[in-house]
Amino acid sequence: MIGKRGQRKTMPSATQVTILVLLIGLAMLVYIILLPPEERATLLNETDTDFDSVTSTTYEKVLLSESPGEVYPRTESTIRHGLNDIELFSREEREVEPVADSLRVSKNWFSDKSKQVLFNIDDLDKIEEVSLFFSIRDYKGRMLLRLNGALIYDGVVNVANIPITLPKPYLRENNLLTISSQKSFFTSFYDLIDVKLIKTMRSEHKETHRSFVISPAEDEAMLSARFDYFINCIRDEGGFMKIVLNGQVLFTDIVVCDVNQPPIDIDPRRLRLGTNILDFSIDSGAYQIEDPVVEVKLSKKIYPEFRFSVDDDDFDEVQDGGMEVVLDLIFEDATDRKRAAITVNEYEFNMDTKSEDYSKDISSYVNRGANYIKFVPATTFEIKNLKVGLRD
């Protein structure tokens, strides 16, 4: 074929066409391999009844998140029930309420210039003390203070009796404090500066509890148990701490700070099948109980379990159908068969999948408060992530 300028066009050879087709085919193959499994299955018109993608699951609240790793018929002879750290305290907190930068009260036979101060108390039960603080620039005579109409102070004020405490029995939620000077023929007066009210309140969190679950297998194989912990003293006042297990005193003594506490032995007969409650209380001070754990020694090896808690509000919403509790598993591979018997509290179901993930609605299996999940694998596989969450 001759071109417009008399030159012959070069036609592609069969070899070049073949190479081009192979390169296009190779690019398409690489693209398909790199697709996510669910998109690859759609493109190739493949189906897998076990596949249910959970990698994009969003939760209203995550109740449990673990990375169990490889699971197979292996067990431990000791189970550790780790509890959340505990902070107990009884402490005083002060609130300063400015009244005036400067203030003058005076009185004689012809005039009476007093000052009224309005102030509120949000929680009378928490109030330890309210006092009036000021500095005196100049004065003559006696000062009179009336709290809600009652005379609470009548005398000469000096540095020794500042601040002046307002008697607690006269305090109300809404208060009126009247500051004046004594009545005399000649003028009595008080020139005050930096006038303020100081409220001392007691903030307390002296009691709390933690729960853990003893499974049927654990209960059957239990040999002994103990409670281990470490106490960090935020403010040591030589307070007493009491630990109660299922309504029976387990420990009571003066708090010893910042030392390794000897473990507290627990009689296995005091542990219950199912939910167990540990109550903690102090009478004074501020303490943090760190790394609390109940350790149970078993006569035989049993499968590991995972624990999570559902609070009252979330449980009620699940029961009303507003939320569901979902168990999601993400595996290391998407080819091998993964089989296991899964127990949620007393309910058991089987998992059999080749997918890279697995999802199950377990709303009807959960309890209010403490819950546990146990895996008994029939094959060896790796769980990259295990989550239990609330989903609407």
Among 55-69, 101-115, 338-352, top mean pLDDT goes to 338-352
Q: Which amino acid is at 40?
A: R
Provide Rg for the chain, Cα atoms: 37
pLDDT(9) > 60: no
**Mode of pairing for the β-strands spanning 127-140 and 150-155:** unpaired
The pLDDT, as a whole number, for residue 285 is 87
Percentage of the chain modeled with pLDDT above 90: 48
Q: Mean pLDDT over residues 208-233, rounded?
A: 91
Residue 110 has pLDDT above 50, yes or no: yes
pLDDT for 49: 35
- The token duo for 272 is 């219950």
Query: What is the per-residue pLDDT across 350-386, written as a single tens digit (0 to 9) for each?
Result: 999 999 999 999 999 999 999 999 988 888 888 999 9
42-98 tens-digit pLDDT = 344 433 333 344 444 688 999 999 888 777 765 567 888 889 999 999 888 888 999
CATH class of 206-302: mainly beta
The rounded distance, in Å, linking the Cα atoms of 55 and 204 is: 43
Q: Is the pLDDT reported for residue 33 higher than 60?
A: no
Provide φ and ψ at 204, rounded to 5°: -135, 140
364 or 261, which is more confident? 364
**Closest Cα to residue 134, out of 113, 104, 106?**
104
Label residue 5 by pLDDT band (50, 70, 90). Answer: very low
Name which of 238, 204, 202, 205 is nearest 86 in CA terms: 205
**Mean pLDDT, residues 203-229:** 90
This prediction's pTM = 0.49
345 dihedral zone (left: phi>0; alpha: psi -120 to 50; beta): left
Confidence label for 279 from pLDDT (cuts 50, 70 and 90): very high
For range 310-329, the mean pLDDT: 94
The domain defined by 61-73+303-391 folds into Jelly Rolls (2.60.120)
Domain 91-203 indexed as CATH 2.60.120.230 = yes
Distance separating alpha carbons of residues 379 and 198, to the nearest angstrom: 68
pLDDT of residue 50: 37
Quickly list DSSP for 82-105: E---EEEEEEEEEEEEEEEEEEEE
Query: For position 385, what pLDDT does the model report?
Result: 92
